Amino acid sequence: MNHEQFSDDPEDEGYSQIDRAAAASRCTWVSVIVNIVLSLTQIAVGVLSKSQGLIADGIHSLSDLIADFVVLFASHKSKDDADEGHPYGHLRFENAASMVLGLLLLIVGIGMIVSAVLKLQTPESIPTVHIAALWVAIAALMAKELLFRFMLRVAKKVKSSLLVANAWHARSDAASSLVVGVGIVGNLAGYPILDPIAALVVGGMIAKMGGHFTWDSLHDLMDRSADEQEVATIRETLHNTPGIKGVHDLRTRKMGDMIIVDAHIEVDASISVEEGHAIAVRARENVMRIPRVLNLMTHVDPWHRPDLDH
């Protein structure tokens, strides 16, 4: 997930992986409850009011439960400790889950576009609906928007890209309810064509958002580096560690929302191996205090005598 989604945070409070998992679990269970209530209400009222759009939106809300349980599963698995098969831990379950959510958004968006195009071809087939459908659509829109804002606020607080993706999934549901509301208003006003036009626009927005999350998560799974500001902070911390004369080959990679760091540190060539090791230990302790840094692996080089191993 791109680091820019957190760039407006005033400060980084250094939440642990356990904090992120707990926040994800709380938010997701709220989402599960909201989706169950909304989907049952939308489908029931949709059938009674003859609103195909409301029925479809209710089914859409039911499909969101899949995304919610993906988040719950990923949050649970990401807490697992490192083992023989996963020596770096299981944090990338979050990246994989974010990509799944992105694909779900992409599929939903494309589905809305296809449905809109089909409706544009036969606008006369849309039946007249009861006004009760409009009130349910408005209530669903408000509930989904409030859920989105709640989840996004928590996601930014604990810096969880997985929660950000799921929050925007909730926003896509709000957009879907908006489409249904506009369609119902147009239907009641005698302009059924407004429904497929609105669905086409919002479907394109949701598909674009899904493509963005999928592409971002794919890059994270391919060992994308941390952002420039975080790398600069790590480099400065290493330079400020007593005994380190220089730093080169500093590399970072994402592991969930955490960062793994590799660095070559240069120390005085005349000191003992034990002293060089002590400097490396201090460097690791200092860097590990930086929020989101999961681990630092150092390679000690003699100062002014560059290594030839790469």
pTM of the model: 0.63
Q: What is the mean pLDDT of the segment spanning 170-193?
A: 81
308 in a structural domain: no
Task: Indicate the Cα dihedral angle 120, 124, 127, 133, nearest 10°.
Answer: 40
Last residue of a domain, one of 222, 237, 254: 222
pLDDT digits (tens, 9 = 90+) for 1-40: 444 444 444 444 555 566 666 777 787 788 888 888 988 8
Residue 80 belongs to some domain of the structure: yes
Mean of the pLDDT values across residues 244-258?
86
Kindly state whether residues 178 and 287 are assigned to the same domain.
no
* Total number of domains constituting the chain: 2
| 235 and 212 together in one domain | no
Q: Are the CB atoms for 154 and 163 separated by under 8 Å?
A: yes
pLDDT of residue 116: 77
What count of other Cβ atoms lies within 10 Å of the Cβ of residue 158?
A: 20
Residue 259 clears pLDDT 60, i.e. is over it: yes
Boundary residue ending a domain (222, 237, 259): 222
pLDDT in tens, 73-115: 766 666 677 777 777 777 777 778 778 878 887 887 788 788 7
Give every CB contact of residue 285 below 8 A, 6+ residues apart in sequence: none
Position with higher pLDDT, 208 vs 160: 208
Q: Distance between CA atoms of 257 and 18, rounded to whole angstroms?
A: 12
- What integer pLDDT is reported at residue 113 of this predicted model? 83
Considering 222, 249, 267, which residue would you say is the last residue of a domain?
Answer: 222
Residue 267 confidence (pLDDT): 92
Model confidence at 309, in pLDDT bands (50, 70, 90)?
low
211 and 243 share one domain: no
Confidence band of 275 (pLDDT split at 50, 70, 90): very high
At residue 63, the pLDDT reads: 65
Q: Is residue 9 part of a domain?
A: no
Same domain assignment for residues 145 and 28: yes
Q: Do 213 and 244 belong together in one domain?
A: no
- pLDDT at residue 308, rounded to an integer: 53
213 with 239, same domain: the answer is no
In angstroms, the CA 116 to CA 200 distance is: 5
- CATH at 269: 3.30.70.1350
Residue 7: inside a domain: no
Inside any domain, residue 1: no
Residue 266 domain-assigned?
Answer: yes
What's the domain range around 144? 17-222
Query: In this structure, how many other beta carbons lie within 10 angstroms of the beta carbon of residue 262?
Result: 14
Residues 194-204 have a mean pLDDT of 74
DSSP annotation of 14: -
Residues 186, 247 within the same domain: no
Say yes or no: 205 and 236 in one domain. Answer: no
Domain CATH number, residue 209:
1.20.1510
What digits encode the pLDDT tens for the residues 49-71? Answer: 877 677 777 777 776 777 677 76
248 and 100 fall within a common domain: no
Residues 46 and 127 in one domain: yes
Does one domain contain both 235 and 295? yes
Selected residue with higher pLDDT from 246 and 85: 246
Q: Is 295 exposed, middle or buried (0-12, 13-18, 19+ CB in 10 A)?
A: middle
Query: Are residues 142 and 205 located together in one domain of the fold?
Result: yes
Q: Is the pLDDT of residue 305 over 90?
A: no
Is the CA virtual torsion 221, 224, 229, 234 positive or negative?
A: positive
Specify if 198 maps to a domain: yes
Mean pLDDT, to the nearest integer, of 229-236? 92
